[in-house]
Amino acid sequence: MSRIPASGRTGCRADSGSRDRHPGGTEANVIPMAATTNINIMTWNATGIMTGIPYIDTELQKHDIDVCGLSEHWLLPENANILDSFNGNYKSYVVTSKSTSCMNTRRIGKGGVAFLWHIRIDSMVNIIDIDDDRLAVLKLVLPAGNIYIIQVYLPTSTYPLNVYKDYVDKLCDLCSVYSIDGRVLIIGRFQCSVCRKCTCSRVSKS
């Protein structure tokens, strides 16, 4: 469990949070905010939200989650409203999958990202549409300052390296823009290992 200060220098920060594993390969990271902001944030890699709904609903209640970022929910436009219906205390913003695959003769999405937020903070939430099914941005307008939460589902190793680098570049650009106006928190599925000795720099396309 890690704690993000309620005030201080603006910018990007990486936090590990506490991680729980659930059936089907799902993962949840809960990142509590400082007590003065009273905002709990969770990120969840669903690997198919339909089978994971009972587990995510349990975690939302267990940790009293205010904002939950979802990756790899596999939702398509025709079933995206499922996230608005399983818990009446939460609203959702869903970016459906642009590509599809088949599972047991059923068409499903191959990725997708989303946000769930508790209705008690609805007045503090602004969604920023960036037209990408691997990135979603939620802006929290808090008394202590703005927080931009970027939920990611980055390409796996089956994609060419330059595709992954392009997304890292895009994240750097978003971070640079949003950090002018508040703090930035990047959460989700990064598809990589992070070494403590690595320096933070923009990835070259060469």
Q: Give the chain as a DSSP string.
A: ---B-SSS--SEE----EEEEEGGGEEEEEEEBPTTT--EEEEEE-SSHHHHHHHHHHHHHHTT-SEEEEE-----GGGGGGGGTS-TTEEEEEE--SSEEEETTEEEES--EEEEEEGGGGGGEEEE----TTEEEEEEEETTEEEEEEEEE---TTS-HHHHHHHHHHHHHHHHHHTTTEEEEEEEE--S---TT----PPP--
Q: Mean pLDDT across the stretch 86-97?
A: 91
Provide the percentage of residues in the chain whose pLDDT is more than 70: 69
Query: Does 2 map to a domain?
Result: no
Provide the percentage of residues in the chain whose pLDDT is more than 90: 43
187-197 tens-digit pLDDT: 998 887 666 65
Query: Does 62 map to a domain?
Result: yes
Query: Does 195 map to a domain?
Result: no
- pLDDT of res. 96: 84
Query: Does 71 map to a domain?
Result: yes
82 or 29: whose pLDDT is higher? 82
121-175 tens-digit pLDDT: 999 999 999 988 899 999 999 988 999 999 998 888 888 889 889 999 999 999 9
Cα separation, 131 vs 145, in Å, equals: 26
Query: Does 20 map to a domain?
Result: yes
The domain total for the chain is: 1
Count CB-CB contacts under 10 A for residue 103. Answer: 9
- Provide the domain limits for residue 40: 15-189
- pLDDT of res. 163: 87
Query: Does 5 map to a domain?
Result: no
Q: Mean pLDDT across the stretch 66-89?
A: 86
Query: Does 199 map to a domain?
Result: no
Output the domain CATH number for residue 163. Answer: 3.60.10.10
Encoded tokens for 168: 């890292």
Query: Does 194 map to a domain?
Result: no
21 or 113: whose pLDDT is higher? 113
